[in-house]
């Protein structure tokens, strides 16, 4: 009987020891604590990366953008504006392309603009003509939408389908404008999301 009693005491101690070990933790510093100078700085473990800002670089054929400089005596407002329109409609702001995707998007915008420019010069603002020009670039008819945009204008939207890429623009008697973007924060595809709060 002594053997059974001794074995049950040993097995009973095992969960207690594991609980004490877990309660003690592996160190005394918790998240939010500042390491004291006596402990020195601790390196970030390898394999963990911190988020970084997307890297943009000049794309082929693009002039480098000048760096903005603040005018002397101007400061940013100390208090956020009380109008929440921008906050409430942020879901409708397209996501920007960065890096190589931005360069590829600019190349697509150039091809689209070049394909539509002859129509603009002729004054052909029929949505079907724009649809034909864009499908002539190789985009499927199901991924291209064109529509009237005012009395003498046409708008268009192309779902490129990669990453996702979207190209949106307008054509009028004055100019052809297009921009590439990466969809919307709360949407899928290239159509602006509906709703919000």
Is residue 169 predicted with pLDDT exceeding 90?
yes
pLDDT of residue 97: 83
CB neighbour class for 38 (10 Å; exposed up to 12, middle 13-18, buried from 19): exposed
Is residue 112 predicted with pLDDT exceeding 80?
yes
Helix (H, G, I), strand (E, B) or coil at 69: coil
Q: Mean pLDDT across the stretch 161-171?
A: 84
What pLDDT digit, counting tens, does each position of 46-66 carry? 555 555 666 777 787 777 665
pLDDT of residue 45: 52
What pLDDT digit, counting tens, does each position of 125-157 carry? 999 999 999 999 999 999 999 999 988 899 999
3-state secondary structure 127-188: HHHHHHHHHCCCCCHHHEEEEECCCCEEEEEEECCCCCCEEEEEEECCCEEEEEECCCCCCC
Q: pTM of the entire structure?
A: 0.60
């Amino acid at each position: 009987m002594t053997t059974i009693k001794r074995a049950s005491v040993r097995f009973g101690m095992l969960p207690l020891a594991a609980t004490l070990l877990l309660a003690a933790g592996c160190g005394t510093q918790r998240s939010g604590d500042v390491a004291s100078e006596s402990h020195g700085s601790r390196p970030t473990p390898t394999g963990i990366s911190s988020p970084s800002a997307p890297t943009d670089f000049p794309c082929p054929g693009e002039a480098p953008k000048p760096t903005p400089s603040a005018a002397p005596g101007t400061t940013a407002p100390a208090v956020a504006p009380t109008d929440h329109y921008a906050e409430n409609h942020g879901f409708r702001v397209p996501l920007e392309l960065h890096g190589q995707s931005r360069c590829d998007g600019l190349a697509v915008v150039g091809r689209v603009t070049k394909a539509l420019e002859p129509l603009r010069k002729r004054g052909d603002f029929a949505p079907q003509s724009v649809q034909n020009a864009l499908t002539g670039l190789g985009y499927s008819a199901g991924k291209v939408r064109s529509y009237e945009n005012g009395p003498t204008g046409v708008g268009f939207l192309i779902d490129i389908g990669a990453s996702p890429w979207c190209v949106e623009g307008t054509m009028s008697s004055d100019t052809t404008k297009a921009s590439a973007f990466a969809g919307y924060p709360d949407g899928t595809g290239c159509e602006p999301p509906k709703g919000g709060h």
